[in-house]
Amino acid sequence: MKFMPRAATFAAVTFCAGALANAATLDASLVSQEAQVQAVNTQEHHVVPAPMIVAQPVLKQDGEIVQPLPQAALQEDQDFASLSAAVAAHEGGAGADSELNCLAVGVYYEAKSEPLAGQLAVADVIINRTQSGRFPKSICSVITQRGQFSFVRGGKLPTPPANAQWRKALAVAKVAQKDLWDSPAANALYFHARYVKPSWNRPRVATVGNHVFYR
């Protein structure tokens, strides 16, 4: 008579064990699904760094390889709409070497109050002298040549103030040195202020601002 309760008890235990096993299987399945969803979400939100873009050489049809020019070289080779634009493009930037500094000092002390064309003409006179064979071959030697420029004292150049006029003179010197704009006084080797009346027997080239230029 005690067999039936034992059988019922055995059946109840078996049922509970099966339910627990099914619950464990269901939990494992849910954990696996959540892991898969999390992995997909992680992949979707993963940010891949953009590849670095590097300028590549261009292969022309004839097989010649053309290397892209640096930006600085492109600026030097471009055409400017006006002298003012050329000067503005060269204000600031890298410092000057000794020759450029000497040229800018000459422009500053001889023509800082002149229009840009007059400043460029003075710079070109100094450069023309280095190429003429009648004057020293370096810009600094032309500037410091005895008896040529009144602002030079004892063969030494003064130090210009770091003001807007000096920055402009330095930019004009860069334009002249790179030959980016034609001088309004082509091939001139001499100049003087208009209020001076020297007895020069030289061909007059042009009058620019307050200066008269000669060959």
CATH number of the domain residue 203 falls in = 1.10.10.2520
Residue 90 counted as domain residue: yes
Residue 68, domain member (yes or no): no
Closest by CA to 176, choosing from 107, 111, 114, 113, is: 107
Long-range Cβ contacts of 178-185 (<8 Å, 24+ apart) = 178/76, 180/76, 180/80, 180/86, 181/80, 181/83, 181/86, 181/120, 183/120, 183/121, 183/124, 184/117, 184/120, 184/121, 184/208, 185/121, 185/124, 185/125, 185/213
The total number of structural domains in the chain stands at 1
Instruction: Please indicate, yes or no, if residue 104 is contained in any of the structural domains.
Output: yes
Is 74 a member of any domain? no
The verdict on residue 10 lying in a domain is no
Instruction: Flag whether 87 is in a domain.
Output: yes
The answer as to whether 30 is a domain residue is: no
Whether 102 is covered by a domain: the verdict is: yes
Please write the tens of the pLDDT for every residue from 92-150.
Answer: 866 679 999 999 999 999 999 999 999 999 999 999 999 999 999 999 999 999 999 99
**Which of 4-8, 59-63, 84-88, 203-207 comes out lowest in average pLDDT?**
4-8
- Dihedral, 189, 192, 194, 196 alpha carbons, nearest 10: -140
171 lies in which domain range? 83-214
pTM of the model: 0.65
